[in-house]
Amino acid sequence: MEIKTLDKLPEKIIIPLRQHRGAVCEPLVKKGDRVLIGQKIGESKEYYSSAVHSSVCGEVLAIEEAAHPDGNKAMSIVIQPEDSNEAVEFSPCKDLKPEKLVELIKESGIVEHYGMPTHTVLKPKGKKIDTVLINATSSEWIGGTFKTPKEYASHVMDALKLLMKTAGAKKGAIVLRTDDKESINAFEGIEVDKKKLRVAPLVGGRKIGYYFKEQNSDIVVLSQKRIYGKKILNFFTYNVTGRKVNVGCDPTDVGVAVCGIKSAKAFYDAVHEGKPYYETVVSIEGVSDRMEYLIVRIGTPFKDVIDSYGYTGDIGKIIANGVRTGVAQYTDQVPVTKGTTRISLQKPEEIIRDESIECIHCARCVDVCPVELIPSRLAVMADQGRFDECRQIYIENCIECGDCAAVCPSKIHILQLIRYAKDAIEMAYEDLPSKESSNLKLGCCGGE
Amino acid sequence: MTYTISAPPHKKTKLDFRSLNISKIIALLPLCLAAIYFFGVPALGILIACVVAAVVTEFGIQTMFKQKVTIADGHAALTGLVLALLIPASAPLWVAVFAGFFAIAIGKHVFGGIGSYIFNPALVAWVFTRSAWTSYMTPLSIPHVGQFSDFILENGAGLMVDVSPILLVGGLYLIYKRYIDWRIPLAFFATMIVLPQTLLFISGVAALVHEGVLNPLMYMSQFFTFLEMSPELPYEMIGIVFFGILFIATDTSTSPVTKKGRIIYGITCGVLVFIYGHFGNFVDGTLYGIFLANCVASFIEINTMPASFGTKTLPQKVYRGVMDKIPASLKFEVMNNE
């Protein structure tokens, strides 16, 4: 995989203090300060948080509200870069105790691509993790220089062992995409504890437990079809392990930690080089005839990423994180963040201008739904505000892949309506009392 | 510089409701041409009268009730065309005009328009018109397949739809392009093949029982009747049956949306059509059978709602229940050590 590096420095770098779920970081610098590459510029004392680091050497211009790729604004530190590679001293981590590793993840600012801080996935409060999965089926592009594909595979395998050590888990797996032949070839025959592993396909009813026994190993490499969507964790966990995650829970409630391959690589770099998470790989779609991959410093505006390809055509729409479920941006000054995986451009003539009509019950959305829902019925009930009926037909299982809205011949905004209903249900149940009646079964499934 | 902001997904299929309807009309055009060739100018008159009446009725209703006029999507024209093919060419034009009006006014818009109607509008109009003006609506003959050339041009055709079964091959193209679903036609067709063969087998067994035969081999040899062709099959494989399978049963508003439900609906159509055809004739049987199946489509849908992913099926529940009761010392199942 050919991945270039964006070397040209932008006019200014905008680093949001909120690039994760949880507590927003407090700025550690002020206007006029000089910062170095890798210097921590934002931090929060909360466990459910992650630090933020500078990706350039330069002067702080302002600390102000700025655009964020999720479509809102966030408090950000604006830095004017200098043409310098001066960085803070990176020191590898010598002490590999789980507590130290957790602290290292938090200090290095490592987060999953969907926003969850990685240490809260591996060490959730009050829960026990026994299996760690590296999800390499989505957001699968990582930077780095590897001499051979085997070196890449051994890197990821070492990262998995570090993640398992941090979580205190005995079992782990790397899940590849079945059509990613490059990665499958790299992992085929990899040696773990003097055992040669094979890439095992998850087909039919086979789950991870089958291959743990078949290959007689606590670590396996799997492959499965890619699952597109914004909320794929529960479905992904079920597909891989067979463990059903109940409504309102996440995989950590059933003992599974799901990490992306980007965060695994960042963790590996943090342990072996002491390097924090301040650059990421972004794919760019629409600037040429094929998908481009670029290593970008976090905080680089989209405009500079687009200009680096010399794109001179008209831009009708800029989409962060994919055309299926991504967010259209209102400005090109929005920065690349830790959660940005793709920048898509659309020409003005490519913009959809369809008008919705009534549902014709053609069942195309039912055929394409990966989690066996009836999206057309969900959309109608969401539109009418019948949220409890949406819950009865499993709206929480929706992974928000957007396929139903994409294939709808009536051009109904099914994805938007389903999200609206899910938000309404979440708000309706979020203020349940912790203990109201012994007849209520509360906990993470409160209100069920 | 300004950029467009809109909700995801930002890319959608090009297919829309209008292209679905236009493609179905195009698939039916060869059959219309064959009907005009076979029945002459009266067939052309029926076709035009029905389509124009349907479109004008929809325009009138939507104008009168101040709704958005949707005749451009082609659904009214398609309904009129389907209905015209079910009216004998000998019927007077005013019957065709009234049928077209009834299809759109009563069959479609009384139920709320696109996506809301329970019965196929063409079937609604056909059932009413057949009951109201039986003499005009009776076809002159009932077709059957006497030789292979009857698939190409059916000389015994009484309705325009019976003229040429092979020209309905456009419906297969619609399935290939996924304009219509494959589950309903497949289940419907399979049921129409299996039921007469099963009836032949059962009648053979009953005849042996009646004769007092005690040799088991004689009963087992009755299974070879599945290899023979039932004498009812030539009366089944006529144009209107294929038309019902490909164009009427697959109407999206009147069929279930669940995957299992669509298969059950196809089987239901097959059973009802066969029962009516067995005791009556398959021309009326096809239309009355699908009409009755439309009655139960919603019932089929709400009883085949998919469960949440990961829900165990009944055999899995039984197996798990049995295995959990076995004492640990007797277990042969591999233990889960996680």
CA angle, A343 then A348 then A352, to 5°: 85
Q: Is the pLDDT of residue B104 over 70?
A: yes
pLDDT tens digits along A61-82: 999 999 999 989 999 999 999 9
Q: Please tell me the predicted confidence (pLDDT) of residue A446.
A: 44
Q: Is residue B331 part of a domain?
A: no
User: Do B58 and B130 share a structural domain?
Assistant: yes
Give the DSSP letter of residue A177.
Answer: E
Give the DSSP letter of residue A34.
Answer: E
Q: Which of B142, B167, B192 is the last residue of a domain?
A: B167
Distance from CA of A44 to the nearest CA of B (A): 33
Residue-level length of chain A: 448
Instruction: Judge whether A247 and A253 are in contact, CB under 8 Å.
Output: no
User: Do B297 and B184 share a structural domain?
Assistant: yes
Q: Please tell me the predicted confidence (pLDDT) of residue B155.
A: 84
Q: Which of B139, B167, B195 is the last residue of a domain?
A: B167
How does residue B157 score in pLDDT terms, banded at 50, 70 and 90?
A: confident
Q: Which of residues 26-65 of A touch B (CB under 8 A)?
A: none
Amino acid at B95: V
Cβ B12–A409 below 8 Å, yes or no?
Answer: no
Cβ A406–B9 below 8 Å, yes or no?
Answer: yes
User: Do B60 and B203 share a structural domain?
Assistant: no
Q: Is residue B312 part of a domain?
A: no
Helix (H) or strand (E) holding A379: helix A375-383
pLDDT tens digits along B215-224: 999 999 999 9
**A390 appears as a binding residue in the annotation:** no
- Alpha carbon distance A379, A381 (integer Å): 6
Residues of chain A with pLDDT under 70: 1, 139-141, 143-145, 432-448
Would you put residue B269 in left (φ > 0), alpha (ψ -120 to 50) or beta? alpha
Domain tally, chain B: 2
User: Do B187 and B152 share a structural domain?
Assistant: no
How does residue B156 score in pLDDT terms, banded at 50, 70 and 90?
A: confident
Find the mean pLDDT for residues B174-178: 94
How does residue B338 score in pLDDT terms, banded at 50, 70 and 90?
A: very low
Q: Is residue B245 part of a domain?
A: yes
Report phi then psi at A34, rounded to 5.
-100, 130
User: Do B190 and B118 share a structural domain?
Assistant: no
DSSP one-letter string for B288-303: HHHHHHHHHHHHHHHT
Q: Which of residues 82-141 of A touch B (CB under 8 A)?
A: 130-131
Q: Is residue B271 part of a domain?
A: yes
User: Do B262 and B149 share a structural domain?
Assistant: no
Q: Does A302 touch chain B (CB under 8 A)?
A: no
User: Do B184 and B104 share a structural domain?
Assistant: no
User: Do B189 and B110 share a structural domain?
Assistant: no
User: Do B21 and B125 share a structural domain?
Assistant: yes
Report phi then psi at A63, rounded to 5.
-125, 105
Q: Name which of A378, A370, A369, A308 is nearest A343 in CA terms.
A: A308
Contacts of A48 (CB under 8 A, 6+ apart): A21, A22, A23, A117, A120
Q: Is the pLDDT of residue B337 over 50?
A: no
Q: Is residue B242 part of a domain?
A: yes
Q: Is residue B173 part of a domain?
A: no
Q: Which of B167, B201, B216 is the last residue of a domain?
A: B167
User: Do B281 and B190 share a structural domain?
Assistant: yes
Residue range of the domain that includes B227: 180-304
Amino acid at A111: V
ipTM of model: 0.89
Q: Please tell me the predicted confidence (pLDDT) of residue A141.
A: 64
Q: Name which of B103, B38, B44 is nearest B75 in CA terms.
A: B103
Average pLDDT, chain B: 92
CA angle, A207 then A212 then A213, to 5°: 105
Cβ B309–A371 below 8 Å, yes or no?
Answer: yes
Least confident of A39-53, B41-55, B220-234: B220-234
Q: Please tell me the predicted confidence (pLDDT) of residue A428.
A: 87
CA angle, B336 then B334 then B320, to 5°: 80
User: Do B79 and B28 share a structural domain?
Assistant: yes
Q: Is residue B333 part of a domain?
A: no
Residue position matching structure tokens 């529960």: A234
pLDDT tens digits along B288-333: 999 999 999 999 999 999 988 888 888 988 988 888 888 777 766 5
User: Do B100 and B187 share a structural domain?
Assistant: no
List of chain B residues whose C-beta atoms are within 8 Å of the C-beta of residue A209: 336, 338
Q: Is residue B230 part of a domain?
A: yes
Q: Which of residues 159-188 of B touch A (CB under 8 A)?
A: 178, 181
Which tokens go with B301? 């849908």
3-state helix, strand, coil in chain A (%, to 5): 30, 20, 50
Return the axis-axis angle of helices B75-84 and B17-39, rounded to nearest 10°: 30
Would you put residue A319 in left (φ > 0), alpha (ψ -120 to 50) or beta? beta
Would you put residue A297 in left (φ > 0), alpha (ψ -120 to 50) or beta? beta
**A408 appears as a binding residue in the annotation:** yes
